[in-house]
Amino acid sequence: MLTRLTSHKQAPTPESPPSRRGWRPLSVVIAQLAVLWQPASMEPAYIRTGELRGGRSVLLDEAVPLAAGRVRVTVQAIERARPLRAHAEVLTRIRPRQLARGHLPPTKEKVDRRIAEERASWD
C-alpha cells in the first residue's frame, strides 16, 4: 500500500498516481512517524529487580550499564511466592474439607463413561 506524506493542513490526493514524487510505502511512513514522535533524548530503559532498604535505597540484583548520575526509578512490589508444599501434604488438607461438605469422587465407571462420550463427540 502506498500513501503520501502530507502536513495536517493538506489532504492527500488519491487521484495522483503512486509513481509521483512524495509517495512512499505505508511501512516507511509508519517508521518515519515513529521517529518523529520519539523524544530526541530518549535513553534505553533497564528493568532490574532488587531490594528496597530503608525506604530510600535500592540494592539491585544486577548492575546497569550506566555511569554514576541521576536516574528515574519506578518501584513496584514483587509478590513473594509461597513455598511449594508436598503433594501428599496438600491432599491431606483437601480431603477432610471435601468429606465435610459431602463430596464423593467419581467412580471408575463414571470416569470411563465421560471419556467415551468425549471421544465419541470427536467424530
Distance CA 116, CA 111 (A): 9
Helix count (H) and strand count (E) of the chain? 3, 4
Q: What is the pLDDT of residues 32-74, one digit of tens each?
A: 555 555 565 667 888 888 888 888 888 888 888 888 888 888 8
Q: What are 68's three cell numbers?
A: 554514576
pLDDT level of residue 112 (50, 70, 90 thresholds): very high
So what's the pLDDT on residue 103? 93
So what's the pLDDT on residue 117? 95
Rg of the chain in Å (alpha carbons): 31
Q: What are 59's three cell numbers?
A: 540494592
Average per-residue pLDDT for the chain:
76
Which of 51-55, 77-81, 95-99 has the lowest average pLDDT? Answer: 77-81
User: DSSP label at 38?
Assistant: S
Domain boundaries, the chain: 2-37, 87-121
